């Protein structure tokens, strides 16, 4: 049997969970991103499993992005296993989702292997709860940085190409120029890259003065 969780308007449009059941084993295959709303899709998939299912394996190889909602996804899986006395596993973690598991201090082969259901936060902030909160905050920040890096990658690559052509420098040197210009001008790297790319076009505007000055300094240090 193969099925997919229905897509509703309040669910992530780029996630679908395929379900295959053979005898007493269910294989779930999420495809897309584990973001807000992913737990609702998972709950529907789990609720649709036939009675007598004794094992649930989740193949994560097609999950391309995961933020902190992915940790809730794992909590739901873990709780389902404990409540039903089922064996529940996840595997084939790759790329950014695997990195997120590392940041969260979880097993990157199967985070459910040694995990226990996480207690709900209490009103009294124990040292353990504070440490967990700080770690979650750090994880959220890095995930957001990764998301921004993915979005910004094309324009940054274009800017590197412009610098390589204009200054006859290597790709690594072009990256160093962009990064240092961003730091010197106190400007986001994407903004610096956009200014460099725009200035290369026909009748393109020159970069703002502070970025132009920072680029000159960075080119003098890293260019040929």
- 137 in a structural domain: no
Tens-place pLDDT, residues 62-97: 998 888 888 889 989 988 998 888 899 999 999 888
CA distance 17 to 165: 45
Q: Kindly report the length of the chain.
A: 224
Whole domain around residue 42: which residue ranges?
2-103
95 and 32 share one domain: yes
Do residues 153 and 99 both lie within one domain?
no
**CATH assignment at residue 37:** 3.30.750.24
CB burial class (10 A; 0-12, 13-18, 19+) of residue 200? middle
**Is 51 part of any domain?**
yes
Are both 8 and 69 inside the same structural domain? yes
Q: Rounded to whole angstroms, how far apart are CA atoms 6 and 79? A: 22
Is 25 in the same domain as 99? yes
pLDDT for 115 beyond 70: no
| Residues 151-186: tens digit of each pLDDT | 667 888 888 888 988 888 888 888 889 989 999 999
Is the whole-model pTM more than 0.75?
Answer: no
The Cα 196–Cα 163 span in angstroms is: 8
In a domain, 115, yes or no: no
Question: Is the pLDDT at 56 greater than 80, yes or no?
Answer: yes
What is the pLDDT at residue 1?
A: 46
Integer Cα distance of 224 and 111 in angstroms: 48
């Amino acid at each position: 049997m193969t099925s997919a969780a229905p897509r509703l308007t309040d669910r992530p449009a780029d996630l679908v969970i395929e379900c295959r059941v053979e005898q007493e084993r269910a294989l779930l295959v999420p495809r897309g991103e584990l973001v807000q709303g992913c737990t609702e899709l998972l709950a529907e998939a789990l609720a649709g499993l036939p009675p007598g299912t004794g094992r649930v394996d989740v193949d994560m190889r097609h999950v391309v992005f995961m933020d902190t909602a992915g940790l809730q996804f794992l909590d739901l899986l873990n709780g389902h296993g404990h409540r039903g006395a089922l064996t529940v596993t996840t595997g084939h973690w790759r790329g950014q989702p695997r990195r997120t598991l590392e940041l969260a201090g979880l097993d990157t082969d199967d985070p459910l292997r040694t995990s226990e259901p996480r207690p709900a936060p209490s009103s009294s902030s124990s040292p353990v709860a504070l440490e967990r909160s700080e770690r979650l905050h750090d994880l959220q920040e890095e995930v957001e940085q990764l998301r921004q890096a993915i979005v910004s990658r094309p324009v940054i690559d274009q800017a590197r190409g412009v610098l390589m052509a204009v200054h006859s420098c290597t790709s690594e040197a072009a990256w160093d120029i962009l990064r240092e210009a961003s730091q010197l001008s106190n400007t986001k790297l994407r903004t610096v890259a956009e200014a460099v790319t725009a200035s290369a076009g026909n009748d393109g505007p020159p970069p703002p003065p502070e970025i132009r000055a920072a680029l000159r300094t960075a080119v003098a240090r890293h260019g040929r």
